Amino acid sequence: MKYIIKTQECGYLFKNGILKKLLFAGKHQVFGLLGEKLVVTEMTGKVDTVGLPVEVLMENPQFRERVIRVQIPDDCIGLHLVNGVYKQVLTEGEALYWNVFEKNEIRLIDVTGTEMTREQIPAMYRHLIPARLYKRLAVGEGETGLLYIDGQFEKQLSPGTYFYWIYAHEVSMKLYSLKVQQLEISGQEILTADKVGVRLNILCSYRITDPLGLVQKTDNVGNLLYTRIQLLAREYIGGFRLDELLARKEEISGFLMKGLRDAQAEYCVEILNTGIKDIILPGEIRDIMNTVLVAEKKAQANVITRREEVASTRSLLNTAKLMEENKVLYRLKELEYLERICDRVGSISLSGAGSVLEQLAALALPKG
């Protein structure tokens, strides 16, 4: 039987199940009656061994010079490049590729180290690596990361993206925010010296300054600050009566601020601001204070009313003295009242003797 093998193909010629030789492009005669068999395969990509052991094929010089064979150790991966372009990552034990029409190259990368460097694998090809072999660590702006290799602190990471091999090591990171954080304590109930229960809403702003020192002391600095503020507030408020406390409201923030700043080095933070948002009184106390407030305002209103009445009376007295001393002024005042009377009546009928003004005055002014 005649076979035509194309340029990009080769043929395995078997006789009685034994590989005799490799055939390449051209016309070939295969004698099936004599036990010959031809298997044709393309000489591109991964080598199809057609079930033959690789060692048997490698004994053939024509085969050996046309392929690339690389053993990939357990502690390495192979970067497969085709014509200088990354194609895939190989993790299997052996790689066997045709190297005739394509230039195949396999670079071995040791995965027993720690950090995956750009020299090992360019960033654009890292997505080709199986996720089980590495860990991606991301540190955002305003954050810092504490890197641990096999449970031991390695270094502090600045903002950026990092890749670490996890084939032979355990890699972990603790992420901390260096931004300003706000802690709110809501509805904290405290008894004053006169046994009145008040509730406080307290705000505290802080920023972590030493993440490495902090991680050695606590997993949650917010809880420590919360407890510290509670104790300071109880210490201060418990020493004053309610009236004294309300009068010293502005001093509470200063006391809390000083107490927290005294402990900020211990907590590895910087206290930026602390203040009282609200002081909430019990319902019955609010009602009493509202009643007192209303009474105070009514008293103030009465004082103002009496003051105005006294001023008005004093003004009338002064006017009366002036009119008594000055007859012309008295006459002008009399005419002013007559003018007001005339403005309010439609018609006036007068009879008898005397002038009009005298009769109107007699009507308006009482006889005495």
**What are the tens digits of pLDDT across the range 160-186?**
999 999 988 999 999 999 999 999 988
In a domain, 246, yes or no: yes
Q: Which of 306-310, 320-324, 336-340 comes out lowest in average pLDDT?
A: 336-340
In a domain, 350, yes or no: no
Which of 53-57, 236-240, 241-245, 282-286 shows the lowest mean pLDDT across its residues?
282-286
More confident residue, 311 or 350: 311
Residues 191 and 236 in one domain: yes
Asked if residue 230 is part of any domain, the answer here is yes
More confident residue, 293 or 227: 227
Identity of the amino acid at 208: I
> For residue 137, which of 179, 172, 178, 177 has the smallest C-alpha distance?
172
pLDDT tens-place string over residues 42-52:
999 999 988 88
Determine the pLDDT at residue 187. Answer: 78
Same domain, 165 and 250: no
The answer for residues whose C-beta is within 8 angstroms of residue 5's C-beta and 6 or more apart is 11, 23, 24, 25, 26, 28, 40
By mean pLDDT, which of 26-40, 69-83, 186-200, 320-334 is the weakest? 320-334
Q: Which of 282, 267, 255 is nearest to 187 (CA)?
A: 282
Residue 156 lies in a domain: yes
Q: Which domain holds residue 325?
A: 289-343+359-364
Q: Which residue has the higher pLDDT, 282 or 188?
A: 188
Location of structure tokens 């390695």: 154
Q: Are residues 215 and 131 in the same domain?
A: no
Do 168 and 215 belong together in one domain?
no
349 belongs to a structural domain: no
Please state, in angstroms and rounded to a whole number, the distance separating the CA atoms of residues 199 and 304. 37
Please name which of 79, 110, 109, 111 lies closest in space to residue 97, comparing C-alpha atoms.
79
pLDDT of residue 88: 84
The answer on 95 and 43 residing in a single domain is yes
Residues 56-108: pLDDT tens digits? 899 999 999 999 999 998 888 888 889 988 888 888 788 999 999 999 999 89
Euclidean distance between the first and final Cα of the chain, in Å? 162
If one counts the domains in the chain, the total is: 4
In a domain, 348, yes or no: no
| Same domain? 187 vs 147 | no
Residue with tokens 């890292």: 126
> Percent of the chain, pLDDT > 90?
29
Q: What's the gap between Cα 44 and its chain centre? A: 53
Give the pLDDT of residue 180: 94
Q: Which residue has the tokens 């005419």?
A: 335
332's tokens: 């002008």
Q: 97 and 10 share a domain?
A: yes
Same domain, 258 and 318: no
- Pair (88, 19) in one structural domain: yes
Same domain (yes/no): 262, 224: yes
Residue 119 lies in a domain: no
